[in-house]
Amino acid sequence: MELKIPLADIDFNQEEEEAVLRVLRSRWLTMGAVTQEFEQAFAQYVGAKHALAVSNCTQALHLACLALGIGEHDEVILPSLSFVATANCVLYCGANPVFADIFGNHDLTISPQEIEKKITAKTRAIIMMHYGGYACQIEEILEIARKNRLAVIEDAAHAPGAVFANRHVGTWGDVGCYSFFSNKNLVTGEGGMLVTDRDDVAERVKQLRSHGMTSLTWDRHRGHAYTYDVMALGYNYRIDEIRSALGLAQLRKLEGNNARRRYLTDIYRQRLSEGEFFGIETPFLSNACLPACHLFPILLPAAADRQELITGLRKRGIQTSIHYPPIHLFSYYQQRFPGIQLPQTEQVAARELTLPLYPMMSEADVGYVLDGVCEEMRQAVH
Ligand SMILES: *Cc1c(COP(=O)(O)O)cnc(C)c1O
């Protein structure tokens, strides 16, 4: 059956089309005025001193680790229930990821108590990943970091626009990293943003994202610089003007789209609490933040056959996904870091199913998904 309700969908229309056309007609395609405008608008929106655009969030995470001086023999504590990039960025720097368990069924974010257990003399930083757009226990984690003199990186790939205690998620730690990949809340195709209040980190990131050079193409173009030196081993992690233009248009829609995601999430939750849904659990019922509602995760009862449910829903044209297969169980990670056990992460990952959620979904779409879940569950529970 053709896909009726995808897992995610993009809110692009004439605004994005015109934004891209303006860039194409300007004939300046990379690291120019549009990127600067996007960075400034994003910094202002989240309330960060600096926002630096890159080609994806993985690069932002890599640069965050580098700029914080994370290197060989260092350890970084992070959740395993995340996208693999959260851990890969640590390995890129020659450091070791140390996985800490999540809370459990009610909260799929990293547990501060579990973080504390993993701290050693080699620990340099903590990465908090705001799962599904719901904030981690930010204050507790920052307190642990302060006591142990650790840096904090926020993987806020799911959380642009999420707010905790009047401050944007992603601006609490030393560095915050956002993703603008095609299925995220703010979409540029590939794209990412690093935010920080620290001038030293911002300077380092600016240099490293552009080959370690002292002056930029854009400055030379404007006659502000005529030559350059290379001060460090840098990368080409720059974004281009086309995607920055998409980012600006999408940023204008973010608040409205996040509000719509929250509304649809409430409808999902309400209907799941009313009907007979075979003991399905919905995490994050009492999260203290204003969430970005990137994902709608549910936890199936142990007796349910998840694969059967996924296949049954797919036959009804409903796409679902799993967030996430734990990083420590991937072959590559198991070979490098064998024998890790994270009981909560493993039991949650075995039962998690992500239902469709995107701003253009209708209430009827939510109803169709839940009717499908209900009917398929009758067959999938053994
Ligand atoms: C999407 C995602 C990333 C990587 O983002 P890219 O922009 O695709 O590099 C990192 N962490 C999490 C939690 C993500 O969901």
Q: Is 86 inside any structural domain?
A: yes
Q: Is 290 inside any structural domain?
A: yes
Q: What is the CA radius of gyration of the chain?
A: 21
Question: Following DSSP, what letter does each residue of 170-223 receive, concatenated?
Answer: TSSSSEEEEE-BTTSSS--BS-EEEEES-HHHHHHHHHHTBTTBSS-HHHHHTT
Rounded to whole angstroms, the maximal C-alpha distance in the chain is 71
227 falls in which pLDDT band (50, 70, 90)? confident
Q: Do 261 and 244 share a structural domain?
A: no
Is the pLDDT assigned to residue 217 strictly greater than 70?
no
Q: Where a domain ends, among 206, 234, 251?
A: 251
Q: Is 19 inside any structural domain?
A: yes
Q: Which atom of ligand 1 has the smallest separation from the CA of 56? A: 7
Structural domain of 23: 14-251
pLDDT tens digits, residue range 288-335? 899 999 999 999 999 999 999 999 999 999 999 999 999 999 999 999
Q: Do 231 and 110 share a structural domain?
A: yes
Is the pLDDT assigned to residue 135 strictly greater than 80?
yes
Q: Do 231 and 93 share a structural domain?
A: yes
Quote the number of domains for the chain.
2
| Ligand 1 pocket member 53 (CB < 6 A) | no
| CATH code of the domain in which 326 resides | 3.90.1150.10
Q: Which atom of ligand 1 has the smallest separation from the CA of 192? A: 7
Q: Is 1 inside any structural domain?
A: no
3-state SS class at 253 = helix
| Ligand 1 pocket member 79 (CB < 6 A) | no
Nearest residue CA, atom 5 of ligand 1? 57
Q: Do 137 and 23 share a structural domain?
A: yes
Q: Do 236 and 159 share a structural domain?
A: yes
pLDDT tens digits, residue range 352-375? 999 999 999 999 999 999 999 999
Q: Do 168 and 57 share a structural domain?
A: yes
Tell me the CA–centroid distance for residue 47 and ligand 1, in Å. 22
The residue-averaged pLDDT of 259-272 equals 97
DSSP state of 356: P
Q: Is 369 inside any structural domain?
A: yes
Is the pLDDT assigned to residue 218 strictly greater than 90?
no
| Ligand 1 pocket member 34 (CB < 6 A) | no
Burial tier of 281 (Cβ tally within 10 Å: 0-12, 13-18, 19+): middle
Q: Which atom of ligand 1 has the smallest separation from the CA of 129? A: 13
* pTM of full prediction above 0.75: yes
Q: Where a domain ends, among 251, 275, 293?
A: 251
Tell me the CA–centroid distance for residue 84 and ligand 1, in Å. 8
Tell me the CA–centroid distance for residue 365 and ligand 1, in Å. 27
pLDDT tens digits, residue range 168-209? 999 999 999 999 999 999 999 999 999 999 999 999 999 999
Phi, psi of 335 (to 5 degrees): -65, -40
Q: Do 65 and 31 share a structural domain?
A: yes
